[in-house]
Amino acid sequence: MEIAVKKLEPVKKPDLAEIEETGQRKRSFIHKLYQDPIAWASTIWIVLVIAVAALAPLLTPYSPVSGNVAQRLLTLGSVGHVLGTDEQGRDIVTRILFGGRMTLLMGIAPVAIAAVIGCALGVAAGYFGRVVHAIIMRCLDVFYAFPALVLAIAISAAMGPGVKNTFVALPIVFIAPIARVTESAVKRIKGLEFFEAARASGAGHWMIIRHHVLGNIFRPVFAYGSTLIGISILVASSLSFLGLGVTPPTAEWGNMLGSLKDALFTQPAVAIAPGAMIFLTALSFNLLGDSIQDALDVRS
Amino acid sequence: MTRIFHRILLAIPTLFGISVVAFALVHIMPGSPVDALVPPDATADVRAQVIHSFGLDKPLPVQYGLWLLNALHGNFGISMGMRVPVNQLLGQAIENTLILAVAAAVFGFLAGTVLGIISSLNQGNWIDRFVSAIGLVGVSVPAYWFAMIMVILFSVKLGWLPTSGMYSQGQQGNVLDLLGHLIIPAISLGITSVGVTSRMVRASFIQVIQQDFVLALRAKGLERRMILWHWLRNAAPPILTVTGLELGYLLGGSILIETIFAWPGLGGLLNGAIGLRDMPVIQAGILLIGTMFVVINIFVDFANARVDPRIQRT
Amino acid sequence: MYGRDQSSGGVSTVSVNPIIQIDGVSKTFKVKDLKGRKKVVHAVNEVSLSVSQGETMGLVGESGSGKSTLARLVLRLIEPDEGVIRFEGQDLRGLSSKEMRNIRKKMQMVFQDPFSSLNPQMTIADNVAFNLWVHGERKRAERRVMKVLTDVGLSERQARQYPHELSGGQRQRVNIARALVMEPSLVVLDEPVSALDKSVQAQVLNLLQDLKKEYTLSYIFISHDLNVVEYMSDQLAIMYFGKLVETGKASVLYTAPKHPYTKLLMESMPSFSKRERWNSFRLKGEPPNPLEPALGCSFRSRCPNATERCSAGIPSLSVVEDGHHVACYLWDGSEEAARISSLV
C-alpha cells in the first residue's frame, strides 16, 4: 500500500497540511456592528430617545396630560413652549418626551412577546413530525392572510382601545411571521449532520432542542425580530392615531397626531414634531435591523 | 386550468379561517353580541328579529354557520351608525377604495421600479445611496403623517390641491377633478410601497445583471430591447409577488389615509365603525379585505406561473 | 466456522463472534419523479451481512448504492422495512427507546462531512461531552472527554475552541472522539476521510487503526475509495444498487474478484503494484434508473457477460469458496456458469 504512513503525535503546532483549511476567526457580530457608522447613528438616536423618555419628569416642568386651554395651539417658538401647545393647551415638548415611553414600549414589548410564542410554535412545527407541522402552519396561514395593520385594527376594535388590549392585539400579528422564520431555520438544522449525530447518541427530544436547535436558530430569528420593531412602532402609533391603542390623555406620538389632525388648517406646524419622532425612531430601528442582519450574515 | 383550481382549493381553509376570525371578533367584545348588532334604541321586535336571523340563542358553531350563510348572501346585518343594512354601504365604498388603492399601487410600482432600476445601474455610488435612502424613508415613515405634511404643503400653504374628499362639489364623475383629489392620498398611501418595491427591484435586477446569460446575450449582439425583455422576464416574478402583496397592505393602509382625506371608501367606513364599535360593519370589512387579499395572492401566483417557466405547470 | 448460516435463513457472511448481524434487510423510499408521479426506490434490497468482533468490514459502493442507508439502518436511525438486525446477539426490533438508548452507547457513528457534523455553537469539548450528558454522566464527563481528545491527538486548548477554529482534519478527529467517548464496541464510519485532503487522510486512517487496537473496536468502514478501503479492511462487501454483489476477505477480493462489477471497480483503481490485469472489458449500455428498476440482476444492463437468465431473476449470494460469496449467475455452480466463467 503506497499511502505514506506517518506515526501520529499529539498536535502542538498547527499541521502545515491543515493550515489552508483553518477557518478564519469569525469576527464577532458586535465587532462588525462596532465598525458600521449607520449602526452607530441609529443606536445613538435610540439611546437618546430612551434616555429622555426615562428622564422626562426631570426635563420638563409641564404635565403631559393636563394643560391650560387658554394657551391652546400656540405656534412653534412661543415663549416657554418651544414646539408649541396642542389643542388642549399641553406643552408639546413634554408630551413628546413622555410619549417616547409609550412608543418604545409599543415597539419592543409586542415583538418580544411574539418572539417567545412564535419561536415555540416554530420549533414545534419544524422539529416534530408532519402532523404537528401541518396543523400549526395551516393555522398560521390564516393570520398570514391579513395585512398586519388590518389584523391589528380588527382585534383592537373588537377588544376596545387601551394599552392592555394592544398588548394582546399586536403580538398576535407578529407571531405568524416569526413562527415561519423559526420553522424554516429549524428545518435547515434538521438536515445537518450534527443533528443526526445527536439523534444517534440516543438523546431525547428536549435535550436535542435545548442544546442543538435553540442555539443555532438564535441568529436568524433575532435578525428577523429586529426588523419587526420598526414595524411595530408604526402599527402601534397607527392604532393610537385611530383612537384604538393608547388613548388620551396619555401621551403617545400616534395619538398626538390623531388629535392634532383637526388643527391642521389653523396651526399646521405643531403636527410636525410628533410625526417626525415616529419617523426618526422607526427609521433608526429599521437601519439598526438592517445592520444587524448584515453583521449576522443573515439576509432574508 | 387545473392549477387555478388547485390553488383555489388550497385557499379555502384560509378563507374559512378568515371568516372564523371575522365572526369571532363580535364575541371577543365585552357585553352581549346583540348589543353589538343592534342599535340601543331598537324595539324589542327588531331585537327579536336579529336574534332570530343570527341565531344568537343557539350554540356558537350554529351561529357561525348562520352568519356565514348570511354573509354569502350579502347580508351582514344592520349598521349601527347608519341604521341601514351593511351591504348597502359596502358597494360604493369598495369601489372608491379600489380606486385609491390601485392608484397607490400603480404609483408605488412605477416609482419603485424606476428607482430600483436607477439604483441597480449605479450600484455603489452616491445615486444608489440616495435612492436607497428614499426607499428606506418610504418604509419608515408613518403614512398618515406624511399625508398630513403633504396636505400642509400642497393644500394649505400652496393651495394647489384640494384637501379632502373625492370630488369637489357637484363634480361627481369628472375624471380630472377626481385625479386632482387623488394625487396626495395616492402618493401618501403608496410611499411605503415605493420603499419596498425599490429595494426588491434593485436586488432583483442586480441579480439578473450578474447572471451569465445576460452577458451571453450581449455578446451575441442582441438588440438592447430584447435584452431588456429577457431581463424583465426573469426579474418579473418576485416583483409581481411583491406588488401583489403590497396591494393587500394598501387595503389596510387605506383605513388611515381615507380618514385624513375623508375619502368615502371602505377604510373610511371602517374607521367610522371603529369609533362607534359598529361590529356588523367591522366584521364585513374584515371579511372583505381578507378575502380580497387572498384573491390577489391567487392572481399573483397565477401570473407568476405564466411568466416564470421554471414553475411547474401541472 | 465459515459457511452457510442455517438459522438466519439466508446466505450471509458468518464469522466468529458476530458483533452485528444483518439479515435480509430492505428499505424503500417513496419519492416523486420529475413529473410528480409516485415512485419507489429500493435503497437497500435484502442485504445480509455480519461483522465479527475486532474486524473491519469495508462496505464499498458508488453513490446511490445504498451504503449510507445501510449504515443508518444499522444504528436504527431509520427503520428497516424488512429484515432483522442483531447487535451482540440481541434483536434490535421492538426495543423501547430506553433500551435502545443503552445499546446506542455501544454502537456509534462517524459522519462524513467535517463541517456540518459538529454543532457550531458548542465548544469542541461540549460537542464530545454531549454524548455523555445524554446518558446522564455529567460529573466525570470532563475527565473522560479530555482523555479521548488526547487520544485522537488534540490539545486541551483546542478542546475549548469552537469548530470553525479547527481545520477539516482536526474536526474529523473530534468526530472520532465523539464516537469513542462512550467506549463503544462497534463504530460505523460513513466516508470518514472522503472530505479531507490526501495528506490528511493518511493521518486520520492511521489514527483509526491505532484506536481500533487501543479501544478494541469493530469497524464498518464505508467508502467509495478503494485505496482507502484496502488499507483498512479485513472483510469486504460490495454493493450495487442496493444489493450486495460480492463479499469476502479483502485480500481475496482485491486479487481475484469474481463479480463483473467488482472487477470493474478494482480495475479502475490506479494501480501501482504488480496486480494482475484482467482482460479489460468495455461497459455497455446505461446504468439503470433507480426509479424504474428493471427485472433481474441490476448490473445486467452493463454487463458484457449477461445472458437471458440474468433478466429472469435477481441472483442471490452463493458460495464460491470459503467465506467468499458472489451474486452472479456465472458463479452459481451450474454447468453453464462453469463454462462461461472459464472463459472470462
CA distance A158 to chain B (A): 5
C10 Cα to chain A: minimum distance (Å): 29
Q: How close, in Å, is residue A256 to chain B by CA atoms?
A: 11
How do strand C18-32 and strand C82-87 relate by DSSP bridges? Answer: antiparallel
Q: Count the helices and strands in chain A (H runs, E runs).
A: 13, 0
Contact B194, B108 (CB under 8 A): yes
Q: What is the pLDDT along chain A (300 residues), one digit of tens a residue?
A: 334 443 443 433 344 333 333 333 344 667 777 777 888 888 898 999 888 888 878 877 777 777 777 777 777 777 777 777 777 778 888 888 888 888 899 889 999 999 999 999 999 998 888 888 888 888 888 887 777 888 888 788 777 788 888 898 899 999 999 998 999 889 888 888 888 888 888 888 888 898 898 888 888 888 888 889 998 999 999 888 888 888 878 888 888 888 887 777 777 777 788 888 999 999 999 888 888 887 776 543
CB A76 within 8 A of CB A270: yes
Amino acid, res. A146: F
pLDDT at C9 exceeding the cut of 50? no
Task: Note whether B148 and B260 are within 8 A (CB).
Answer: yes
Residue type, B217: L
DSSP state of C38: E
pLDDT at residue B205 tops 60: yes
Minimal CA separation from A283 to chain B, in Å: 5
**Chain C closest-CA separation from residue A34 CA (Å):** 22
B137 in Cβ contact with B194 (< 8 Å): no
Q: CA A77: distance to chain centroid?
A: 35
* Model confidence pLDDT, tens digit, residues C286-343: 667 777 766 677 777 777 677 776 777 777 777 767 778 788 776 666 666 666 656 5
* Average of per-residue pLDDT values in chain C: 80
Interchain contact A10–C (C-beta under 8 A)? yes
Q: Is B216 helix (H, G, I), strand (E, B) or coil?
A: helix
What is the secondary structure of A205-256 as a DSSP string?
HHHHIIIIIHHHHHHHHHHHHHHHHHHHHHHHHHHHHHTSSSPTTS--HHHH
pLDDT tens digits, one per residue of B283-312: 788 888 888 888 887 777 777 766 665 555
User: CB–CB of B17 and A268 under 8 A?
Assistant: no
User: Does the distance separating the beta carbons of A230 and B17 come in below 8 Å?
Assistant: no
Q: Do the chains contact at C75 and A196, CB–CB below 8 Å?
A: no
Task: Find, in chain B, the residue whose alpha carbon is nearest to that of A150.
Answer: B252
Distance CA B231, CA B208 (A): 7
d(CA C179, CA C166) in angstroms, rounded, equals 18
C-alpha cell belonging to residue B217? 446575450
Closest CB to B152 among A139, A149, A268: A268
- Of the candidate ranges B26-35, B153-162, C175-184, the one whose mean pLDDT is the lowest: B26-35
Grid cell at residue A231: 414595524
Contact: A279, B142; criterion CB under 8 Å: yes
Is B152 part of the contact surface with chain A (CB cutoff 8 Å)? yes
User: Is B13 at the interface with chain A, CB within 8 A?
Assistant: yes
| Chain A nearest C-alpha distance from B20 (Å) | 10
Ramachandran angles phi, psi of B292, nearest 5°: -60, -40
Residues of chain A in contact with residue C158, where contact means CB-CB under 8 angstroms, are 11
Q: Do A294 and A226 touch, CB atoms closer than 8 A?
A: no
Q: Do the Cβ atoms of B25 and A148 come within 8 Å?
A: no
- DSSP label of B137: H
Q: What angle do CA A98, A100, A103 make, to 5 degrees?
A: 125
Mutate to test the interface with C, among A6, A7, A8, A216 (most CBs of C within 10 A): A8
Q: Is B248 at the interface with chain A, CB within 8 A?
A: yes
CB proximity A160 to B under 8 Å: yes
Q: Per-residue confidence at C11, pLDDT binned at 50, 70, 90?
A: very low
Place of cell 498536535: A11
Residues in contact with B5: Cβ distance below 8 Å, sequence separation at least 6, in sequence order: none
Given a contact cutoff of 8 angstroms between Cβ atoms, the answer to whether B177 and A286 are in contact is no
**Through-space distance between the first and last CA atoms of chain C, rounded to whole angstroms:** 31
Which residue, chain included where needed, has cell 336571523?
Answer: B53
In A, minimum Cα distance to B12 occurs at: A142
The CA distance from A21 to the nearest CA of chain C, in Å, is 5
In order of A37, B82, B93, B169, C82, the CA distances from B174 in angstroms are 52, 27, 18, 11, 78
Q: Which residues, 6 or more positions from C47, have their beta carbon under 8 angstroms from its beta carbon?
A: C22, C24, C25, C26, C66, C70, C83, C239, C242, C243, C244
Q: Which residue of A141, A160, A237 is in closest CB contact with B14?
A: A141
The interface pTM score, or ipTM, of the predicted complex is: 0.76
From C157, which residue of chain A is nearest by alpha-carbon distance? A12
Cα–Cα–Cα angle for A261, A266, A267, rounded to 5 degrees: 75
Q: In what order do the strands lie in the sheet with C90-91?
A: C38-52, C18-32, C82-87, C90-91
CB atoms inside a 10 Å sphere around CB A138:
12
> Chain B 31-70, CB below 8 Å of chain A: which residues?
none
Q: For chain C, what percent of residues have pLDDT higher than 90? A: 9
Residue C227 to residues A101, C64, C276, Cα–Cα distance (Å):
70, 20, 16
Q: Which residues, including other chains, have CB under 8 Å from residue C237's CB and lie 6 or more apart?
A: C13, C49, C57, C58, C59, C60, C244, C246, C247
Q: A249-253, B241-245, C277-281 — which is least confidently predicted?
A: C277-281
Residue B213 distance to chain A (closest CA, Å):
25
Partner residue facing A8 (CB), from C122, C165, C203: C203
Nine-digit cell at B132? 436607497
pLDDT of residue C343: 59
> Is B282 close to A148, i.e. CB distance below 8 A?
no
CB A97 within 8 A of CB A59: yes
Q: Does B135 touch chain A (CB under 8 A)?
A: no
Burial of C157 (0-12, 13-18, 19+ CB in 10 A): exposed
Of A18, A200, A215, the CB nearest to C77: A200
At B110-129, the pLDDT tens digits run: 888 888 888 877 777 777 77
**C107, C134, C269: best to mutate for the A interface, most A CBs within 10 A:** C134
CB atoms within 10 A of CB A50: 14
Spell C297-317 as b/e; 16+ CB within 10 A means b: bbbbbbbebbeebbeeebbeb
Which amino acid appears at position B135 of this protein?
Answer: G
The tens digit of pLDDT for each residue in C69-95 reads 888 888 888 888 888 888 888 888 878
Which of B188-197, C27-36, C38-47, C113-122 is predicted least confidently? C27-36
Residue B200, chain A, CB below 8 Å: the answer is no
**How far is the alpha carbon of B125 from chain A, nearest alpha carbon, in Å?**
17
Return all residues near B42 (Cβ < 8 A) that are at least 6 apart. B50
Cβ contacts of B256 on chain A, cutoff 8 Å: 149, 238, 241-242
Please give the pLDDT value at position A118: 93
Residue for grid cell 455578446:
B219
pLDDT for C207-264, tens place per residue? 999 999 888 899 999 988 888 888 889 899 988 888 888 888 888 888 888 888 888 7
| SS3 category, B12 | helix
Return the number of other C-beta atoms located less than 10 Å from residue B159's C-beta: 9
Using an 8 Å CB-CB cutoff, list chain C residues near A1: 227, 230-231
Q: Is the pLDDT of residue C128 over 50?
A: yes
Q: From A275, which residue of chain B is nearest by alpha-carbon distance?
A: B145
Put simply, whether A126 touches B (Cβ < 8 Å) is no
Can you tell me which residue has the cell 463479480? Answer: C259
Grid coordinates standing for A120?
A: 415555540
Lowest mean pLDDT among A291-300, B21-30, B214-223, C153-162: B214-223
In total, the C-beta contacts within 8 angstroms joining chain A to chain B are 138
The whole-number pLDDT of residue A266 equals 76
Of A138, A139, A283, the CB nearest to B140: A283
**What distance in Å separates residue A160's CA from the closest CA in chain C?**
45
Q: A274: nearest CA in chain B?
A: B145
Asked if A241 has any chain B CB less than 8 Å from its own CB, the reply is yes
Contacts of A74 (CB under 8 A, 6+ apart): A81, A84, A85, A267
Rounded Cα–Cα distance for residues C203 and C154 (Å): 13
pLDDT band at B32 (very low <50, low <70, confident <90, very high): low
Distance CA C118, CA A189 (A): 11
Is the pLDDT higher at B257 or at B53? Answer: B257
Q: Which residue from C14, C9, C21 is spatially nearest to C74, judged by alpha carbons?
A: C21
A86: number of CA atoms within 13 Å, CB side? 31
Across the interface, whether the CB atoms of B148 and A264 are under 8 A apart is answered yes
Instruction: Please give the angle made by the CA atoms of B138, A184 and A172, to the nearest 5 degrees.
Output: 60
List, as ranges, residues 204-243 from A with C-beta within 8 Å of C.
Answer: 204, 207, 211-212, 215-216
Nearest CA in chain A to C78: A200
The answer on pLDDT for B313 being more than 60 is no
Q: Quote the pLDDT of residue A119.
A: 93
Residues 160-199 of B with CB under 8 A from A: 163
Q: How far is C303 from chain A (nearest CA, A)?
A: 30
Residues from chain A contacting residue C165 (CB–CB below 8 Å): 22-23, 25
A141/B13 CB distance under 8 A: yes
Sign of the alpha-carbon dihedral angle for B198, B199, B205, B208: negative
The verdict on a CB contact (< 8 Å) between A237 and B142 is yes
B61: number of Cβ within 10 Å: 8
* Cα angle, residue C336 at apex, residues C332 and C340 outer, rounded to 5°: 90
For residue B282, the chain A residues in CB contact (below 8 A) are 154, 157-158
Highest mean pLDDT: which of A55-69, B78-92, C39-53? C39-53
